[in-house]
Each structure stands twice: as C-alpha cells, then as structure tokens.
Amino acid sequence: MNHRSEPKGIFVVGSPRSGTSVLSWALAQHPDVCTGPEADFPFWVAKLFASEEAPEKVKPKQLAGLEQAWQVCRQRGDGWTNKNGVSREEFMAAIGAGLGALFSRHYEGKRWVDSTPASAIVMPQLAAMFPEAQFVHIVRDGRAAVSSMNSSGFDVRIAKDFKFACETWEHFVRAAHDFSGANPERCIELRQEEMSRDPEAALAPVLEFLGLGECSPVVDFLRKGRINSSWGNEKPGDVKTLKSHDIVPAAPWTGWNFRQKRTFKSVASKTMELVGYECTLG
C-alpha cells in the first residue's frame, strides 16, 4: 500500500546557525510553497523510531515509543500487523502520512517546508515516514557556525558551551552529509556561503531538484540580506530582520583563544575536510 503524503514536503536541515530559517522563508516566496516556524514535532516523532540496525540488537522494552510498539507487534506471531503483512516501512509511512496531512491542512494544500535544524540527525527515519519528501542540507563553515552559536546570546547550551557547539556542528553536518551521499535522489546540499554570495547561481540547482523551476521572488528575497541573530542587533526584534550580508565578521574565529582553537580542531577538523572546508584558525 502506498501511503503517499500530498503535496511533497520539504525538509531544510543543517546545524544550528547555518541558514535553515532564511532558506525556508526564501523558498516560501514561491507561490506553491508555504512555511512557518520550526515545527519540531516531525523530529520528535522520528526520534521515537530506532535507527535501522538497532531493532535486531535490543529488546522491545529497551526501545522508545513507536519503535517499541512496532517491535512488540512484530514479535506477536498472530498479531494484526503480521496477519496483514504490514512492513516497518508501511508502518512508518502511515505515521508520516498523518503528520503530512496536518501540515497540508494548515498550509492550504501547498508544498510545506520545515526547517527544524535537528531533523538533520533523524533523516533516515524522516525519509521512511515521508517517502515523497525531499531534503535540502545547507552546510555552513563550522568555524562561522560555532562563532554564531557562541555569539547569539540565546539561553541555550550551544551559546554557552564552546565544546558542545563544536560537537553539535560536527554531529549534525556529518549525519546530514552521510544521508545526502547515500540518497542523492532525496537530498541536495547547498553551501551557505554560496547562497549569500550568489543566490541565483546557488539556488538554481536546488529549485530544479525540488521541481519548482525558476522563481525570481525566491532569489530576490535572499538578495535583500540575511537573517542574523548573532551580530548587528540593537533591539530584540532585530534578530528576525534581514540585514546586509557583510554584517558578519569575515573570520570571527580568529578571536578564539588557544583552547577554543584546539577544541574545534579536535572535534571538527575531519568533518570540515569531509565537506570541503579548510580548518585554518588564524
């Protein structure tokens, strides 16, 4: 049975401070696309499913939520799921179909975009839950992303714990990049720096991948500036306003102390190389 969710969803993923929000808002300038605040719930539901290899290695009672429910039903030989030949794939897609319908209902049937950054670490589960959805992984230089996390002033751990910010960037980017490499038909990667420098050239392959064609309002939105909550803010509302692209320091990581530079290199240098960035720190 095909539990297809119409219209196709779009997940914009990446580490925190990589531009997921502004990209989703830009895509929503397309007449057939709609977005809103980060939904969060697809991530939390996806987390209730174990990774693909885990179910065979652990007992059902050790699993969380939906994965536990699936495994308990599967192990009951005369149970409903077995009698009706329901696969794990079909079970997950049925859950996703309900969530997709919720998005569509509130977005008037347009293609919906969710930009919850944490979705980067549950992409395999989301891909199974939303078999028609597409993913855009926006990658930002880890040095800039971590600098932005630590300069945001937000009351969250990535703004207060330098090592945790480095680990977050590394974990999110590695997970999303691995998924993208293994599933090129489902996911496309985009450099945040290229999107800022030349939005038309950077977004052309993304719009084509998503089947949206050329759309000047999407590009024009990005040409107006960038969302930046780490620099150039004078009052609370400024964090959500578009600002000039040059408001961000060219290399904020050069101000890191020796311990911070050593920590970043230890945690993130291999992933920086993997996604095509140098790890020089000045």
Give the pair of three-digit tokens for residue 252: 């904020």
Cα dihedral sign for 98, 100, 101, 106? Answer: positive
Q: Is the pLDDT of residue 27 over 90?
A: yes
80-90: average pLDDT: 93
* Tokens 């720190």 sit on residue: 281
Give the pair of three-digit tokens for residue 15: 């580490």
CA atoms within 13 A on the CB side of 77: 0
Q: Which residues contact 145 (CB under 8 A, 6 or more apart)?
A: 15, 16, 17, 18, 169
Q: Is the pLDDT of residue 230 over 60?
A: no
Q: How confident is the model at residue 70 (pLDDT cuts 50, 70, 90)?
A: confident
Domains with residue ranges and CATH for the chain: 10-274 (3.40.50.300)
CA distance 162 to 77: 50
Q: Is the pLDDT of residue 206 over 60?
A: yes
Tell me the pLDDT tens digit for each residue of 250-269: 788 999 999 999 999 999 99
What are the backbone dihedrals phi and psi of residue 112, each rounded to the nearest 5 degrees, phi first?
A: -100, 150
Helix (H/G/I), strand (E/B), else coil: 51:
coil
Give the global pTM.
Answer: 0.87
Q: Which residues contact 165 (CB under 8 A, 6 or more apart)?
A: 146, 149, 150, 158, 159
Residue, of 232 and 86, whose pLDDT is higher = 86
CA distance 78 to 82: 7
Tell me the pLDDT tens digit for each residue of 124-162: 999 999 999 999 999 999 999 999 999 887 889 999 999
CA distance 103 to 32: 14
Tell me the pLDDT tens digit for each residue of 96-119: 999 999 999 999 889 999 999 999
Helix (H/G/I), strand (E/B), else coil: 156:
coil
